[in-house]
Amino acid sequence: MTPLPTACRALLAAGIFALAAPALATDPKEPAVADPQAQTADPYLWLEDVTGDQALGWARQQNARTDAELASGPEFAQLQADLLAILDSDAKIPEVQKLGEYYYNFWKDAQHERGLWRRTTLAEYRKPEPAWETVIDLDALNQAEGENWVWHGADCLKPDYRRCLVALSRGGADADVTREFDLTTKQWVADGFFRPEAKGALRWIDADTVFAVTDFGPQSSNKAGYARFAKEWKRGTPLTAATTVFEGPADNAGYGVYAERDHTPGFVRDFVLHYLDSRDTALYQRLPGGALVKVAAPDSSEKGVQREWLTVKLREPWTVGGRTYPAGALLATHYDAFMAGGREFAMLFEPTATTSLESYAWTRSHLVLNVLDDVKNRLRVLTPGAAGWTASEFVGAPAIGTLDVRAVDADDSDAVWLTATDYLTPTTLSLAQIGQTPEQLKSMPAFFDASNLVLEQHFASSADGTRVPYFIVHRQGVPHDGKQPTLLYGYGGFEVSLTPAYSGIVGKGWLEHTDERGGGVYVVANIRGGGEYGPRWHQAALKANRHKAYEDFAAVARDLIAHGITSPEHLGIMGGSNGGLLTGNMLTRYPELFGAVVIQVPLLDMQRYSHLLAGASWMAEYGDPDTADWTYIRSFSPYHRFDPAQAYPPTFIWTTTRDDRVHPGHARKMAAKMLAAGKDVRYFENTEGGHGAGATNAQSAHVWALTYRFLWRQLGAGH
């Protein structure tokens, strides 16, 4: 059982991001339930009816208005074509997952809009142009079934990997279906396991049994709309006959329940993970008789079990075994000894003022730590032995750039995939045996001209004196005359770190674009609320301290202006999801600092957020607006901070109808309120895409072309 992922995180890849939670209850087709008092107070509540005719008619009207303004002429057509070519490129790195003897990849390009699930051998994968065998053609499936399926992944049963549980989403929403697939025949299994559309999952126990987490009918979801039951379901029986393994409380506001079997040979165990909120979890081992025994590490910690080891990554100090370990530390002990009452730990990582543990990965014999030191990656290898743990350097690790390590097959080998990237360096993928020089297998092509660009790191001083790092990409010898079109990006939440990553979309849409001033300047701010300096950095901006994240972002903006890089009329900002809440707050708190604001798939109405789709699960981050917390939450609710008498910079808000994580009503209502007040705002809504830019590359290219066309019009030298 590998360490379970952090429940909320941002993905900054090709300009695409997401708040990624375990896919677990609530259908976006259902209109939001509004109380009469809210209906009276909020004249735009009708825009929360996700698929209502009136709301969708309004969205279509706004789309037409935005397209008429931004999507006309040869310049837009060329930009959209360039971005689509990047997204469709055959030269991108096909990342693979080893399942048995094959290496599997999901791939989208111009000929395969919805994508192919395909496989090859390692010998083929080493070649510049591997021969791939198609396993599932999603475009063909959609055509045959009249659907718009989007790939959500597959869970394949060890050790023979014959049967898979494939998750498919309509339009990219979190809600999906699960269908059983035979990898040998490459056919769907007739009368196989099938889970109807809902937020949830099936996971293999054995060839005839699965864990089912899904919508089991009334009262089967928690306060946040996530499934609160994990059940054991036998082949050949109806889903209604599944037996309960775990039941979470109905008033819980976490991400629900996740159940799986660890199939590691010699260490087969069943686990249930109960999300108590957006961060804290309770982990249980399910014994052969069905009894659940809690793994008694702190709920606030990240807990992982791998073979004989239990790892505990602390978010808060923990006194155990006569010793106090600091927040941010990684501890390890023998799992069976811990479950028997032992409390002796080895501290594998201890944070400092500038370091935090970004991630870690097990191989068969080693543990690879990925450490951030002032937001720069360093790799370290730890090896357990009879005399304890020994440390060594990761042989051949690049000295600079953002690094990521994941095991090829932690059951059988010490091989890892090593990726390296930064804002200017196309991503490379290497295969490395621990202790040996990595073998570079793949390299992403250069999608934009970076020959005259430089990457630097600077630090700004926030309102309370906190040192806030930020990365900046600009042309060599850029004049400090305050006239450079500059785009500032941020997130600042859920302990998510923003590290430098190559993006052809950002490069082509912003950095390479030229006018009489040259190309754009790109800046990423590592503000509090994120994970760049571990738990303390995240916790510094929780709930009533949320304003510190916004003060940090404003400090970076002011630092750019003070150093003559840009000026308010040439400075734009962009952020999505929690980052959309960030840019919404910058709009309403510091409108004088910016010349353009882009708000993507955002949270904005923080009085209603906990009643909309998955919103209640984020109360550990923001607070509960139905309590006295509203006193401080109101201070960072852009929908309520908006002042019709205030002057605001030009704004572009976009979302998707099929976002069943962050309700599209946030974006719709804010845009409607701003339009009614006569503000300079435009709005766009993709009907597909889930919590992202689009379900297809063409949809994504269109939205990103609109975004960069808007930014250049507002921030370019001619403005």
Where b means 16+ CB within 10 Å and e means fewer, 32-62 reads bebeeeeeeebebbbbbbbeeeebbebbeeb
Model confidence at 38, pLDDT cuts 50, 70, 90, reads very low
- Lowest mean pLDDT of 33-47, 281-295, 339-353, 464-478, name the range: 33-47
pLDDT of residue 248: 93
- Lowest mean pLDDT of 6-20, 74-88, 440-454, 685-699, name the range: 6-20
> How far is residue 179's CA from residue 138's CA, in Å, rounded to a whole number?
13
- Among residues 366, 474, 663, 691, which one is catalytic? 691
pLDDT at 58 over 60: yes
Mean pLDDT of the chain: 92
For residue 691, give Cα distances in angstroms to 33, 119, 620, 636, 664.
21, 27, 21, 22, 10
What is the tens place of the pLDDT at every residue in 249-308? 988 888 889 999 999 999 999 999 999 988 899 999 999 999 999 999 999 999 999 999
pLDDT at 419 over 80: yes
- Lowest mean pLDDT of 36-45, 69-78, 141-150, 267-276, name the range: 36-45
- Residue 352: strand, helix, or coil: coil
Known active-site residue 691: yes
- On whether the 447-715 domain is CATH 3.40.50.1820, my answer is yes
Q: List, in order, residues 6 or more apart from 73 with CB less than 8 Å away.
A: none
Mean pLDDT of all residues in 640-664: 94
Mean pLDDT of all residues in 7-28: 29
Q: What is the dihedral of CA 618, 624, 626, 630, to 10 degrees?
A: -120
Q: Tokens at residue 643, please?
A: 């002042």
Model confidence at 313, pLDDT cuts 50, 70, 90, reads very high
DSSP codes joined into one string, 423-466: SSS--EEEEEETTS--EEEEE----S--TTEEEEEEEEE-TTS-
pLDDT at 655 over 60: yes
Residue the block writes with tokens 């929908």: 639
Model confidence at 717, pLDDT cuts 50, 70, 90, reads low
Known active-site residue 577: yes
Asked if the peptide bond before residue 159 counts as cis, ω within 30 degrees of 0, the response is yes
The distance from CA 297 to its chain's CA centroid, rounded to whole angstroms, is 26
* pLDDT > 90 fraction of the chain, expressed in percent and rounded: 86
- Among residues 169, 220, 462, 577, which one is catalytic? 577
For residue 267, give the nearest of 200, 334, 349, 343 by alpha carbon.
334
> How far is residue 252's CA from residue 358's CA, in Å, rounded to a whole number?
28
Beta strand spans in 191-344 (E): 194-198, 201-206, 209-213, 229-234, 243-247, 256-262, 269-275, 281-286, 292-294, 302-306, 309-313, 318-320, 323-325, 330-334
What is the tens place of the pLDDT at every residue in 524-560? 999 999 999 999 999 999 999 999 999 999 999 999 9
pLDDT at 12 over 90: no
**pTM value?**
0.91
For residue 277, give the nearest of 26, 552, 622 by alpha carbon.
622
pLDDT at 651 over 80: yes
The distance from CA 390 to its chain's CA centroid, rounded to whole angstroms, is 33
Model confidence at 600, pLDDT cuts 50, 70, 90, reads very high
Mean pLDDT of all residues in 434-450: 96
Amino acid of residue 513: H
Where b means 16+ CB within 10 Å and e means fewer, 369-404 reads bbbbeebbbbbbbbbbeeeeeeeeebeebbeebbbb
